[in-house]
Amino acid sequence: VAAAKGDYRHFMHKEIDEQPRALMDVLRGRIDQERGLITLEDLRLDDQDLRRVRRIYAIACGTAWHAALVAKFMIENLARVRVEVDYASEFRYRQPILQSNGERDALILTFTQSGETVDTLAGMEEARRQGVPSVAIVNAIGSQAARLADGGPIYLHAGPEIGVASTKAFTSMLVAGYLFALRLAQAHGTLTPAQIREHIQALVELPGKAAQVIEQVTPVCVELAERYYRVGNALFLGRQINYPIALEGALKLKEISYIHAEGYPAGEMKHGPIALIDEGMPVVCIATRDHIYEKMISNVEQVRARHGQVIAIGHEGDELLAAKANHFIGVPATLPLLQPVLNVIPLQIFAYHVAVLRGCDVDQPRNLAKSVTVE
Ligand code: G6P
C-alpha cells in the first residue's frame, strides 16, 4: 500500500510528525521494564556471541552515517566496546583490517533506511569475505541488508519513509542503536539490571517527549525560518554526541533548501569556520546540559563576539543560555546519551520550513535519490 500524505502538503512534514509513534514502534516487544532486560530477539547473536565482540565497525551513508556516529557514543559508553565509524563508500575501498591475530572479536554494524544502499551492502559483503558477522539496523523489511545480516536485522518498524530527507528513520535508528548498546552492555555485564531499568524508563518516556518537542518548538522554528530563509550560509555546532546532530542539522538544511550549511565540532570552530562568521551568519549551537555544556557556552560567546546570530538549542528553562543566544529553542531533558533524539527534531522542523519558504521541492530535492543503488 502506497503511503498517503493525508492532510499534509509534504511527506517530510508528515514523517516528522510521525516520530513519536515511530519511537514507540521501535521499542515495542524489545524491552522488559520489570526485569530490567533488553530482549531484542531479532538478534541472532546470543550472550556468548555478544561477549566475544570487542570491536565494532559501524558503516553507513548519509543521514544513516550520522546515526552510526551517535551510536558510537552509546555503545562505547554503555558497553565499553570500541567502535570505529566509516562511510561505507570509504570502508569498502580501504582494505579494512577487521580481524587481527586470528581473534574472532569483530562485528560489523550497518545503519540503513532502505537496506539497498550499494556502498553499505558492499561493506557487508567485505565483512562476510573476512568472516566477520554483521548486524543491520534497517527499516525496509526483507531488503538486501536485512538478508545479508547474518547476526540479524534489527528492524526499525518506522513504516515507509517517502521524503528523500530522512527524519523518522533517523530518530528510530538512534533508538535502535541505543537498544543494541544496552543489549551488548547486558551481555558484557557493564550495566546492572537496575541501571538497565533506568535506561528503559528513559526510553519509555522518549516518545512523549518527542511529541512535546514537536508541539513546543514549531512556532519558534517557523519564526526563525521566516527570519533566515534568505541566507546563503549557515553553521551548525555541537560537541561529543551532539556533534553528529550538528552534521545532521546542516545536511537537512542543505539537501532540501540548497543553503550551504556546515556542521562542525564546536571546539574546531576556531581552526577555520570562525573566519566565516559575520552578522549575516546564523550559527545553530546545540547546547543541552551535559559534561561539555560550559565549553559550548564559551563557543556561543565566541560566535556572539564575531556578531554571528546564535540560534541555541538548550534544555527548556535554561535562562543562562537563552540570555547569551540571539534565539533560544528549548527542549525537554532526557539522559545525555538519548538527548540527540530530541535535539535533532527542531533542526528538522527548521530545515523544513526554510525549504518551504524558498519554494523548494521538499520531498524530492534536485539531484538526490531516496535510495542510492548505484555507485
Ligand atoms: C541517500 C538518501 C539519504 C540517506 C542515504 C542513505 O543519500 O538521500 O537520505 O540517508 O541515502 O540511505 P539508507 O537507505 O542506506 O539509509
Q: What is the DSSP letter of 61?
A: -
Q: Which residues pair with 116 in a beta bridge?
A: none
DSSP annotation string for 331-370 = E----TTTHHHHHHHHHHHHHHHHHHHTT--SSS-TT--S
Shortest-distance atom of ligand 1 to CA 368 = 8
Whole-structure pTM value:
0.97
205/163 Cα distance (integer angstroms): 27
Atom 5 (ligand 1) nearest CA = 62
Cell readout for 308 is 554571528
Q: Ligand 1: which residue has its CA nearest to atom 2?
A: 370
pLDDT of residue 14: 97
The pLDDT tens digits of the residues spanning 252-261 come to 999 999 999 9
Distance 166 CA to ligand 1 centre (A): 7
ipTM of the complex: 0.96
From the number of C-beta atoms within 10 Å of its C-beta (0-12, 13-18, 19+), residue 364 rates as middle
C-alpha cell at 170: 533517523
Give the per-residue pLDDT at 297: 98
Looking at ligand 1, which residue's alpha carbon is closest to its atom 7? 62
Distance 369 CA to ligand 1 centre (A): 8
**Residue-wise pLDDT tens digits, 230-266:** 999 999 999 999 999 999 999 999 999 999 999 999 9
Of 272, 281, 294, nearest in space to 231 by CA: 281
Residues in the chain: 375
Ligand 1 midpoint to CA 304 (Å): 35
How many whole angstroms separate alpha carbon 369 and alpha carbon 73? Answer: 29
Please answer whether residues 257 and 349 qualify as being in contact, where contact means their C-beta atoms are separated by less than 8 angstroms: no
Our answer to whether residue 270 is catalytic in this structure is no
- Residue 311 near residue 283, CB atoms below 8 Å: yes
Q: Which ligand 1 atom is nearest residue 140's CA?
A: 14
Model confidence at 2, pLDDT cuts 50, 70, 90, reads low
Alpha helices in the chain (DSSP H): 11-17, 19-27, 47-52, 62-79, 88-91, 118-129, 144-148, 168-188, 193-228, 243-257, 293-305, 319-324, 339-357
Report the atom number in ligand 1 closest to the C-alpha of 165: 9
Task: List the residue whose alpha carbon is closest to atom 11 of ligand 1.
Answer: 371
Q: How far is the CA of 370 from the centre of ligand 1 (A)?
A: 6
pLDDT tens per residue, range 123-163: 999 999 999 999 999 999 999 999 999 999 999 999 999 99
Averaged pLDDT for residues 277-299: 97
Residues of the chain with pLDDT > 90, as a percent, come to 94
Closest ligand 1 atom number to CA of residue 61 = 6
Q: List, chain by chain if needed, residues with CB within 6 Å of any ligand 1 atom.
A: 61-64, 112-114, 117, 120, 164-166, 368-372
Ligand 1 center to 47 CA (angstroms): 32
